Chain A
């Protein structure tokens, strides 16, 4: 029992560290990638001076995130005279917390056997025995449902922030956020239904394991190859969920100042921004898990590689663990970078276009995709 606690604590520490690091690093990636895409150099002035020397560490502007954080903590925490101080103070946390919680059900690695991994420490190895754990904080059968449940919570946060700010820009932003997120969450759910039909489970770890298989005998059975349509729709809906350009109508600064967090300042505003950047990583992780084979490389399983034609390559346990962790992070980073590419490429939708795009374009497409998938799955099973 004690062993489970220790392993869970390690996993939680890893997940929180990864998410917070992603949240900070993605601000830098966004700045630098946008700069490079537009022939600029990008932020490169913040530095850390080594004490008692004139040595200034710039590191390609990596410390700008640090400077931002310090600035947000030291700024005046302005509060509007609102009729609902409590909801006003609560809203950033209601946005921020579910974003972190979603990661609890996302598997970031395969089965780990601590007893085998720590064989150089015989006492620890003996204490762990033959126990094995999936690298996932919460092994929930209803993993995908939990993701959607927590994803829906952040709508409440945005609405709370807008209503309790006593500001018309905030209210407009909150209304936009509410209608947009509900519309696109529907599309997101429908696209994922096709995947559930194929995999026959909502357990994310099981979904990843099924993607280690083969499709047509030679292709990796990744979700993106089995449901390419759903993959595109899911990504679009997820970006709309995250309220980023081209779907950033709730916080369209040219129309609504900052939308539903207009009245927030200092670290409360920082929490909204931080939640947005962490959600980029979360979307990347979800997309990786559902469509890109999760923590596995093509043809990879927990024991090694099984190439088409039954060529088996076994890899030691420790190497597999490290490989899976690195592969997962790399995939998440690539997907995050792709989202940033989209954000710096496309112009913003108009509000009516945004909703008609969800209801008249994506919703029927998702339904059609689901229908075709259902028919094909039924035909293959019978």
Chain B
């Protein structure tokens, strides 16, 4: 015996969107058009008034002549090399930053400095290719000497020439707040070889 089929309602597709519900005023079309024109025209008049009274009537900037003043406090856009009190870089050319760099943008050429027995290695060249840098900050994490940091500013990079996107040691060494150098120099207890040990 066949079970009696329960009568079902015909399938009605569910509508997931809203029916447009407009008042007759909105459906009359022209008033709403005029309202829109007044909004855009008002913005035009306001901005034009600002330009004509020698103020700025735009939210955008004349990049690169003008950069935004409101970079986030956490923005890290530029590398700096910290310095020892005498102005030499704290970097010991250990190449850890260049090794950890995912974009392989750091190039270091080490040199030997016999006058500083505590830190005989120093970077002759320290160059960063900003055309490839991803600003991940891993170099800062990797540095054992706190020699490389990132600061809020961005370097003045726009250029027509790929080669000038390299920042070299001299440009990276411009940041030198004397009070913030992490390690006193020379470090206590090390570096001072005993008299007559040569």
Contacts and interface: CB of A to CB of B under 8 A. Distances in A.
The 10 closest A-B pairs by CB, nearest first: A39-B59, A345-B40, A37-B44, A41-B58, A36-B47, A40-B60, A345-B36, A37-B40, A39-B58, A40-B58
A372 interface: no
B62 interface: yes
A81 interface: no
B44 A39 contact: no
A41 B40 contact: no
B60 A36 contact: no
A36 B51 CA distance: 9
A232 interface: yes
A36 B59 CA distance: 10
Given A39-B57, A341-B41, 6 more contacts: A38-B43, A39-B47, A39-B60, A344-B40, A345-B40, A346-B36
Interface of B: 30, 33, 36-37, 39-41, 43-44, 47-48, 51, 57-60, 62
A36 B56 CA distance: 11
Interface of A: 33, 35-41, 44, 232, 341-342, 344-346
B58 A35 contact: yes
A371 B41 CA distance: 34
B132 to A, nearest CB: 27
A226 B93 CA distance: 86
Contacts of A44: 62
B82 to A, nearest CB: 39
A39 B43 contact: yes
A40 B63 CA distance: 12
B43 A37 contact: yes
Given A36-B44, A36-B51, A39-B47, A346 B59 contact: no
A339 to B, nearest CB: 11
Contact of A41 (B30, B41, B60): B60
B47 A37 contact: yes
A331 to B, nearest CB: 18
Contact of B30 (A39, A232, A345): A232
Contacts of B58: 35-36, 39-41
A33 B45 CA distance: 10
A184 to B, nearest CB: 16
B62 A41 contact: yes
Nearest to A337: B44
B50 to A, nearest CB: 9
B83 to A, nearest CB: 38
A341 B40 contact: yes
B43 A342 contact: no
Contacts of B57: 36, 39
Contacts of B37: 341-342, 345
B44 A346 contact: no
Contacts of B44: 33, 36-37, 341
A342 B37 CA distance: 7
B3 to A, nearest CB: 48
